[in-house]
Amino acid sequence: MVESLDLRSRLAQALSAISFEHSERTAATAVKLAKTHSADEEKALTAGLVHDAARDLTDEELLKRAKEYRIEISAIEEEKPYLVHAAVGARMAAEDYEIVDESILSAVKNHTFGQTNMSKLDKIVFLADMIEPKRDFNGIETIRELAEENLDKAFAVAFQMQLVRLINQGKVVHPKAISVWNSVAKEVGKK
């Protein structure tokens, strides 16, 4: 695995200043959450730094990469290539940034729609991306507090808020996010 200093400088070159600074804040937040919840801080740092590796690619580049990597593209993604930035980013993390750890690649891949059976690191990176210090939306304080206390609950509430927000804004919801939500709702319903 590349050292985080090297990874940082390469990402600083590849990303816009806005995305790079967001990635740094996401990484710092992920490390904090990893510390609180006894997860691997090194992996949280790396995953946080690299999670948006594909964030600044143009739509054409995203689709081209997705095809190269044989990532399945649905009609929704074809229309909004931004939706594949997590899946493409995970492959870029492996191929361009030489990250081999599957748990880190999984956290990158799942930082937008999640997946069923999220690992602790998946949840940490998902939440860190959503609550890093410069983020601001209605209800964020609730998620920030929950993230300190209970990762599973924080993820469930964060995921729910994200879906509701997308719907309220009239935006497209990826079918994968709906199926992840159904499994989250089932889990939450049990408790």
CB of 25 to Fe ion, least distance (A): 9
Q: Which one, of 52, 74, 65, 61, lies nearest residue 7 by Cα?
A: 52
Can residue 122 be called a binding residue for Fe ion (CB under 5 A)?
Answer: no
Question: Contact with Fe ion (CB under 5 A): which of 106, 113, 121, 129?
Answer: 129
Within the chain, strands assigned E span none
By CB atoms closer than 10 A (0-12, 13-18, 19+), residue 60 is exposed
* 55-94: contacts with Fe ion (CB under 5 A): none
CB of 125 to Fe ion, least distance (A): 9
Residues 65, 92: contact at Cβ < 8 Å? yes
Binding range to Fe ion, per CB under 5 A, among 49-57, 64-72, 75-83, 173-181:
49-57
Binding footprint of Fe ion, residue count (CB under 5 A): 2
Binding range to Fe ion, per CB under 5 A, among 3-11, 93-101, 128-136, 161-169:
128-136
Residue 66 CA to residue 68 CA, distance in Å, equals 5
Nearer to Fe ion, 83 or 156 (CB): 83
Residues 155, 181: contact at Cβ < 8 Å? no
Three-point CA angle 172, 122, 30, nearest 5°: 105
Question: Contact with Fe ion (CB under 5 A): which of 8, 27, 52, 107?
Answer: 52
Nearer to Fe ion, 49 or 184 (CB): 49
Can residue 132 be called a binding residue for Fe ion (CB under 5 A)?
Answer: no
- 22: its two tokens: 């967001």
| Contact set with Fe ion (CB under 5 A) | 52, 129
